[in-house]
Amino acid sequence: MTASTPFLSPDLLQPADAAVDKGASVATSPKPNGGKRYSVTAPSVRSLGVTLLREGALSAHDLVTALSLQKRHRGRLSDILLSRQMVAEETLYKAQARHWNVRLLDPMDQPADPRLIDDIGAATCLRDGLIPWQRVGKAVVVATAHPEEFASHYPRLRAAFGTVIMAIAPASKIEAAVLRARSAALNHAAENRVAEAESCRDWGRDGLAVKVALILGVFGLGLWLSPAFMALAFTFWATLTLALSTALRAGAVFAALRNTAPPPPDPIIARLPTVSIMVALFKEGNIAPRLIRRLSRLDYPRDLLDILLVVEEKDHLTRDALKSADLPPWMRVVVVPDGPLKTKPRALNFGLDLCRGSIIGVYDAEDAPEPDQIHKVVNRFYQRGADVACLQGVLDFYNPRTNWLSRCFTMEYAAWFRVILPGLQKLGMAIPLGGTTLFFRRAALEELGGWDAHNVTEDADLGMRLARYGYSAEIIDTVTEEEANCRALPWVRQRSRWLKGYMMTWAVHMRDPMLLWRQLGPRKFIGFQILFLCTLSQFLLAPVLWSFWLVPLGVPHPLATALPPVVMLGLMGLYLLTEVINITLNVIGLRKTNHKLNPLWVGTLHFYFPLGALASYKAAWEMVSKPFYWDKTSHGHFDPSEADH
């Protein structure tokens, strides 16, 4: 390549005071040797379509359709043409290169200089769809996938490189070239996006793991030296946390049932935003085809929908399944470089830099969202201020009747997503997010540093960090159905991961309790303690509470002689009240679903939650032994015809 290569044809250079077509974009720059200022004048978008039409690459009908959509969505004509498969990618970019009279590059065949990428950052290249390619003489050639937007990036590029010459390259090639050149740096950033003070990645190095081990050791020693005293202490703490949890649940029920104002009418949005949705996949070869079908039902404009299927580099099972699938142009596979840490939040952090939208969504592999879900999300964000940074959809199951465990899981989710979380929102509490059907304003998500790559319940942690930064999350009335984990051992493994993440989240945020108090305020601080510390205590100390059910059966309780009769009577009253509130809560939640499950199944939840106690002991052990281990839940264990109803 020589310095005289015509990356920018002289006939696209004209004096800045010369007349230009109306609507054309202009990037100005001084001549390298001083003197008169010159402009780079962009051909109009419409003329690109005419060029494709004249070359026989685009039909007149498709051109009219694309221009109509471009006017309605105010998006890129190139995105519309590609997303609707009106023009092949290679044909489009060749036409653009001729249209702009610039060089068409393939940065995969002709690699870029990695040092130039570092000058503006790999994440910036991915976000803006450009790549600094090579230095040619005193100028740097920068390839872009969106030449009509090059003028907006020009001042920053000129500040970094001096004289800049524009070239064109396909978006897919730019993305692949940046990842090939700087995947290690992007992977390191994905693992360390969250500030160290807000992350659990130093667990074990800062002494927290040792402290947990010491606390467990003290409890064990106390049980050996004075079992009666420890039994009283455990009973007191279990009862206190039960009372607080019951009070919060009762408050959430009353708040959720409180009449609210009818929702405002859907707004008229002049320009719909691009929405990126990430789906982290790991060993999901059998569910990938179903996932693609379900996501294809989303009715958001395809040129504004950007779906990333994020897979691990060495997950050949899923990668092979996706290779054999016929992915539409608005879906793409993102491969996360191999590393010792393999967690969903690390994959999401890596994919975040490749997202093209201003709204970021997260789905799980087995999800089946409602078709109009993205429209509802966009409308709600438009109606709310910037402080509402996250929307949480309602989760439900498409296999509630598989067995008893799936029925119980369905009732638990109904109570949580349809009663408790809406109630907590009305009470002004911080909401621990679910792991899917989450939508964020990108600016807020990036301000927080994305997800903590080492936290195995990254969603709950992110909900608390949103609150600490002054943002809020809201529940939105749109449902995503997923697969209920309905086998006992996998259920325990999944729940142990959730509880381990709750333990880690509580420990990280309580490093500085006074700072947390100031950031959250009294109400949210107390709510955080009840939602995390009290919930964990209830699972870990569940056998202590179960022991009191021996009394109605006529079996003497070991503490009966140590506690006055009035205290024993009060405890039994509290336990009965808790059962009544829990039953009421679950019946209300179940009635809010479309499932026709017999409410009598609610009575069997008493035998369901002991599995959670087993999961809590596994979680406590892993907090010390392998805190970052992601105990994966496998999916796709049922009849696809039922799942795809």
| 559-594 tens-digit pLDDT | 777 788 888 889 889 999 999 999 999 999 999 999
Instruction: Compute the distance between CA of residue 520 and CA of residue 507 in angstroms, rounded to an integer.
Output: 16
Cα–Cα nearest to 150, from 26, 274, 22, 14? 26
Sequence-distant (≥ 6) Cβ neighbours of residue 626 within 8 angstroms: none
Single-letter amino acid code for the residue at 528 = F
Residue 128's region, left for phi above 0, alpha for psi from -120 to 50, else beta, is alpha
Q: Which two tokens stand for residue 358?
A: 């201003």
Mean per-residue pLDDT, 618-642: 79
pLDDT of 35 = 39
DSSP assignment of 457-508, as one string? THHHHHHHHHHHTT-EEEEEEEEEEE----SHHHHHHHHHHHHHHHHHHHHH
Provide the residue count of the chain. 645
pLDDT of 13 = 31
Q: Is the pLDDT of residue 368 over 60?
A: yes
Q: Is the pLDDT of residue 7 over 50?
A: no
- E strands, 532-602, where? none
Mean per-residue pLDDT, 228-239: 87
Mean per-residue pLDDT, 314-341: 92
The residue whose two tokens read 């606390």 is: 215
Q: Is the pLDDT of residue 422 over 70?
A: yes
Q: Are 199 and 523 in contact (CB under 8 A)?
A: no
Q: Is the pLDDT of residue 189 over 80?
A: yes
Q: Are 7 and 167 in contact (CB under 8 A)?
A: yes
pLDDT of 574 = 94
pLDDT tier at 43 (50, 70, 90 boundaries)? low
Q: Is the pLDDT of residue 20 over 70?
A: no
Mean per-residue pLDDT, 461-488: 96
Q: Which two tokens stand for residue 484?
A: 């209920």
Instruction: Compute the distance between CA of residue 156 and CA of residue 468 in angstroms, rounded to an integer.
Output: 33
pLDDT of 30 = 42
| 108-148 tens-digit pLDDT | 999 999 999 999 999 999 999 999 999 999 999 999 999 99
pLDDT of 212 = 67
pLDDT of 265 = 83
pLDDT of 40 = 47
Residue 393's region, left for phi above 0, alpha for psi from -120 to 50, else beta, is beta
| Average pLDDT across the chain, whole number | 87
Single-letter amino acid code for the residue at 180 = R
Mean per-residue pLDDT, 154-159: 94
Give the neighbor-by-neighbor strand order of the sheet with 13-15. Answer: 13-15, 37-41, 26-30
Domain boundaries for CATH 3.30.300.160 within the chain:
10-190
Single-letter amino acid code for the residue at 428 = G
pLDDT of 387 = 96
Q: Is the pLDDT of residue 11 over 80?
A: no
pLDDT of 605 = 94
Q: Is the pLDDT of residue 336 over 60?
A: yes
Cα–Cα nearest to 638, from 389, 399, 371, 430? 399
Q: How many CB atoms lie within 10 A of CB 496?
A: 23
Q: Is the pLDDT of residue 31 over 70?
A: no
pLDDT of 38 = 35
472 versus 3: the higher-pLDDT residue is 472
Q: Are 591 and 401 in contact (CB under 8 A)?
A: no
DSSP assignment of 355-379, as one string? ---SEEEEE-TT-EE-TTHHHHHHH
Q: What percent of the chain has pLDDT over 70?
A: 89
pLDDT of 121 = 94
The residue whose two tokens read 């009035």 is: 566
At how many degrees (to 10) do helices 316-324 and 288-295 cross? 50
Q: How many CB atoms lie within 10 A of CB 149?
A: 17
pLDDT tier at 208 (50, 70, 90 boundaries)? low
Q: What percent of the chain has pLDDT over 90?
A: 69
Domain 10-190 in CATH 3.30.300.160? The answer is: yes
Instruction: Compute the distance between CA of residue 559 and CA of residue 235 in angstroms, rounded to an integer.
Output: 9
Find the helix or strand (DSSP H, E) in which 388 lies: strand 388-397
Lowest mean pLDDT among 154-168, 249-263, 364-378: 249-263
pLDDT of 229 = 79
CA distances (Å), origin 40, targets 21, 92, 105, 472: 12, 21, 19, 44
| 274-294 tens-digit pLDDT | 999 999 999 988 877 889 999
| 522-563 tens-digit pLDDT | 999 999 999 999 999 999 999 998 888 777 777 777 777 778
Instruction: Compute the distance between CA of residue 105 and CA of residue 103 in angstroms, rounded to an integer.
Output: 6
The residue whose two tokens read 């004048």 is: 41
CA distances (Å), origin 591, targets 411, 580, 596, 598: 10, 17, 8, 10
pLDDT tier at 248 (50, 70, 90 boundaries)? very high
Instruction: Compute the distance between CA of residue 9 and CA of residue 443 in angstroms, rounded to an integer.
Output: 37
pLDDT of 73 = 84
Q: Are 321 and 289 in contact (CB under 8 A)?
A: yes
Q: Is the pLDDT of residue 23 over 50?
A: no
Q: Is the pLDDT of residue 151 over 80?
A: yes
- Three-state SS string across 607-630, please? HCCHHHHHHHHHHHHHHHHCCCCC
Mean per-residue pLDDT, 36-64: 73
